[in-house]
Amino acid sequence: MKKNIVVLPGDGIGPEIVDGALTILDKTAAKYGHKFYYDMIEVGGCSIDKYGVPITSENMEKCRNADSVLLGAVGGPKWDTVDPLLRPEKALLAIRRELGLFANLRPTRLFTQLGGASPLKDSITSAGIDLVIVRELTGGIYFGEHKTCEVPEKTATDIMTYSEHEIERIGRVAFEAAMKRRKKLTSVDKANVLDTSKLWREIMHRLAAEYPEVEYSDLYVDNAAMQLIRDPGRFDVIVTENMFGDILSDEASMLTGSIGMMPSASLSGGTCGMYEPIHGSAPDIAGKDIANPLGTILSAAMMLKYSFGLDEEAQAIETAVDQVLSDGFRTADIVSDDTIQVGCREMCRRVTEAL
């Protein structure tokens, strides 16, 4: 198999973690007889510095024509004072819109070796945490109208809008994900207050009738936030709208022991997707070789699975990560007294060897 991958190292620790992930992809390709071609482009703050915009039209076109996109991280305090319309993060919103990436999948898995790094008690973590949050990514309040009026007093308004087709397409992604896992789906909304959530629940119930094998339930977002901490093992797949998904997936990331362990996939109706760890650019540790690359490596594994259909290869990478953790190697964010601290490059080397 030959695939063209657009690589967006980005800012901060992005180049370090992406470099390690590409090494693992190359090892995987060599092992299974594939060839991956990489087109490295600037995006985010580094693109602003070079071109004056977070992503150029030429580089956007490269993303459109790619088989998939792998991203490190964008942003940092250096660009906090630029025009809000030119912030580094605007590049990500533009890519999501141009590629039609409406579904964000964030698997939350607590590796058993990292039970001590989770903030939850051992009695809870021992039961296992293995869930996926499916977040609608291109609608809702983040993409609604935003305005501030000055008269009669300063008043800000942000509008949340969802249409039937937007809810139905993300709902189908979630139900299909549940069918491939433990056949359990929880839809999170705020239907006791919001009209968008009432419509959301109506559409989800309609879809549930098409998937009788899936155990379906509704949960208000405030209750879902509590249950993620109280009993995360109750969840398999969670589906929710954009803002709720943003908050809940960040909350869930802490259950894994470190946000550095969390991969994600942003998908469209086709095979092209954008894959990235969910942590930020962490400019305070950039260049110090202490970043955790595992979230990026696991994102690359998701790319092999969801965009290229290479399930065996994806599993091989996940198994290699599991082996390195079992061998006791840790980056600074997940190290403990009885483990061996290594840097970003060394962690990538260990995973590559484990393949």
At a CB cut-off of 8 Å and minimum separation 6, what does 227 contact?
Answer: 219, 234, 235
Q: In Å, how far are 132, 236, 250 from 127, measured between CA atoms?
A: 16, 13, 21
Structural domains in the chain, CATH included, are 1-106+260-355 (3.40.718.10), 119-256 (3.40.718.10)
**Residues with a known catalytic role:** 142, 190, 222, 246, 250
**Dist. CA 114–CA 309, nearest whole Å:** 29
- Name the CA radius of gyration of the chain, rounded: 20
Q: What is the 3 state secondary structure string of 252-286?
A: HHHHHCCHHHCEEEEECCCCCEEEEECCCCCHHHC
- By three-state DSSP, how is residue 211 classified? coil
Of residues 143, 102, 136, the one with CA closest to residue 272: 102
Task: State both tokens at 208.
Answer: 């549930």
What is the pLDDT, as a whole number, of residue 129? Answer: 85
Q: Are strands 146-149 and 103-109 parallel, antiparallel or unpaired?
A: unpaired
Question: Residue 117: what pLDDT?
Answer: 67
Contact 60, 49 (CB under 8 A): no
Q: How far apart are CA 79 and CA 96, in angstroms?
A: 21
According to DSSP, the residues that pair with 240 across neighbouring strands are 135, 188
C-alpha neighbours within 13 Å on the C-beta side of residue 115? 12
Cα–Cα dist 149/346, whole Å: 53
Q: How many Cα atoms are found within 13 Å in the side-chain-facing hemisphere of 173?
A: 28
The whole-angstrom separation of Cα 176 and Cα 93 is 25
Tokens in use for 266? 């942003």
Contact assessment for residue 238 and residue 246, using Cβ atoms and an 8 Å cutoff: no
pLDDT score for 330: 94
The pLDDT score that the predictor gives to residue 113 is 77
> Could you give the CA distance from residue 199 to residue 212 in angstroms, rounded to a whole number?
21
Please name the residue that has the structure tokens 């949340």.
Answer: 160
Q: What is the distance, to the nearest Å, from the Cα of residue 1 to the centroid of all Cα atoms in its chain?
A: 25
pLDDT in tens, the chain (355 residues): 999 999 999 999 999 999 999 999 999 999 999 999 999 999 999 999 999 999 999 999 999 999 999 999 999 999 999 998 899 999 998 999 899 999 999 999 888 777 766 767 555 554 578 899 999 999 999 889 999 999 899 999 999 999 999 999 999 999 999 998 999 999 999 999 999 999 999 999 999 999 999 999 999 999 999 999 888 889 999 999 999 999 999 888 888 878 888 999 999 977 889 999 988 899 999 999 999 999 999 999 999 999 999 999 999 999 999 999 999 999 999 898 889 999 999 999 999 999 9
